[in-house]
Structure formats: structure tokens, C-alpha cells
Amino acid sequence: MAMTGVLRPGHVQIRVLDLEESVHFYGDVMGLVETGRDSDGRVYFKCWDERDHHSLVLRESDQAGIDFFGFKVLDNTSLEQLEVRLKEHGVDTTRMPAGDLLETGERVRFDLPSGHVMELYAEKTAVGNGLPSMNPSPWNQASENGIAPVRLDHMLLYGPNIAENKKIFEDILDFFLVERVLSEGGDAEVALWLSCSHKVHDIAFVEHPEPGKLHHISFLMDSWEKVLRAGDIMSMNQVAVDIGPTRHGITRGCTIYAWDPSGNRFETFMGGYHPYPDYETITWTWDSFPQGLDYPQRKLHETFLTVVT
């Protein structure tokens, strides 16, 4: 599939309660690579196989949750075109200055109807994955440290007005709807899985009365064995596990949900399938949501619907 316009989730800034405890967690237990600290005290990380400077930014606060997330677009021409399209559709945008996030160019920022702050950007310094671009080996020491996911994969966000979010993603940003869950009466969509790529989702939303909530940030693992190994490492480090290891019916992803020390949920994930934009959307009825969430157990875990930051 030709990749133009919006490419991928590129960064997410989350709030953590104790910065140094979280730096230990994301650096040593998750096994992300620390790439910088800024004058605001924020700490930057990337997954070992990512090439750009960072994908996760931690900010210390007295309340956990998500500050904002950004998608990388192909180039500055795409950024300008998407900014114009957002404005034409009545979405107010502001430009965050280059350098406000370390090693990152200007970001076009806007509010989603669900209460989340989203950004698009075209430039972030490519620091590489530690492997040479000529004759690389398949892995290196950084891939063997802690859980060591290969990349930030997607986010699931909770908030109101997700039907309005869907319009922005489909009509302006050229995402397509891969899967959805219908309400009990079947007349509304209560959950959406959207892709801008060949991935089974790049972002997902669940309808929820409180705006701007984080359900989980998902990190991609190479294999099911590595998801199970992630579970071993969680237990060795007394990490609080929510659900799994199991498989979602929705997206077919194989998963563990767990919580970071601040209560932000994360997912170690692999699998799923590879949709194209011409595929028919997969629909789940409300009574099948339990197997959508946890296919083997067919269980709509209470925490899935209630615990968000």
C-alpha cells in the first residue's frame, strides 16, 4: 500500500506520579531506550527498533493520564495540506514551535471532540535503531533489555463524541474504519478501531462520558513468545497485570494489559491481521463484545470499561 499523508503514531506524552520511579520502569522493566531530558524536566524514550528520536515522553504530575499524542506525516507538504483541510472542516489548529519537543519540528495541534489533544508533525531527528544501515544484524543489545517492544503501536482512548472523532479521522486524515462495536440497541457505534496504514489499528476510541481519558498505550512485540516473556518480566517486577496473556477477538491481537507505576495502562501486543482500505469493516454486536475483548474467556472484564487515567 502506498503510504502518504499520515504515517503512524509517533509520540505520546503521559503524566506520571513519580518521575524517577517511572524512568526506572520504562527504562529497565519495559526496556525502552532513554534518549533525552528537557528543561521542563520531561524524559524521552524510544523503543529499541524505532528510528526517530522518541515515541514516549514522561511528565511528572499529581495526576496520571495522557497530555497529547502525535502522528508523523510524510513531509512538510503533507503537513501543510492536512492543516488546510482541518481548517476547511472547521477544526481550529495551532502550531507548536520546533524544538518544544526535543529534536522535533513544528507540530500542528488540535482538539478532538473526545477531549484529546492531537498533533501532526513531519520532522523528528532520525537517531536510528543502533544498527547500521549497511549490512545490519537483526538485533542488538538494546533488543534484549527488559520487555523491549519494537515500537509504539497504537493507543486506545476513552471520551465522548467518538462519532465526531470518526469524521475527522475518515474525512480529513484519510484513516479507514477496520472494526467497530455497536451499542446494545445496535443504533450507535460505541468503539472504533481506525487505521492509516496496513496495521489493524493505529488508534482506537471507546465512547465514555469523561473527556480526554487514556485506556492504554500499546507496544508491539515480535512474537507470542515475547508477549509471554513480557508477562514473566512483569511478574518478576511485581507489575500489576490487568488482562492476559490472551487474544482479542477484535483485531485478533494477542495481548497482555498491565499498569505502569502511576496506573496508566499499557499493552504488550502482537499479531492481528493486515487490512486494506477497501476491506469491509468488521462489526461486533454488544452481546459479542466479551469475546471481542477476550476471545478464549469470552469475558467483558469489569476493569476494561471502568479503569482509565
| Cβ-based nearer residue to ligand M3P, 82 or 239 | 239
Which of 11, 53, 116, 154 is flagged as catalytic?
A: 154
> How many angstroms separate the CA atoms of 8 and 241, rounded?
27
- 216 as an active site residue: the answer is yes
Q: C-alpha grid cell for residue 267?
A: 499493552
**Cβ nearer to ligand M3P, comparing 42 with 248:** 248
DSSP states of 123-174: -B-B---SS-SSS--S--GGGGSSS--SEEEEEEEEES-HHHHHHIIIIIS-
Binding partner of residue 248 among Fe ion, ligand M3P, none, CB under 5 to 8 Å per kind?
Answer: ligand M3P
Q: Does 179 interact with Fe ion (rule: CB under 5 A)?
A: no
267 is an active site residue: yes
14 vs 307: CA distance, rounded Å? 16
Contact 264, 214 (CB under 8 A): yes
Which of 6, 156, 172, 282 forms a contact with ligand M3P (CB under 6 A)? 156
Q: Which of 165, 197, 218, 291 binds Fe ion (CB under 5 A)?
A: 218
User: Is 250 a residue that touches ligand M3P (CB under 6 A)?
Assistant: yes
Selected catalytic residue, list 54, 116, 201, 208 = 201
Q: Are 293 and 251 in contact (CB under 8 A)?
A: no
Q: Is 253 in the site for ligand M3P (CB under 6 A)?
A: yes
Greatest pairwise CA separation for the chain in angstroms: 56
- Give least dist CB 217 to ligand M3P, A: 10
Residue numbers annotated as active site: 154, 201, 216, 248, 257, 267
Instruction: List interacting residues with Fe ion (CB under 5 A).
Output: 218, 267
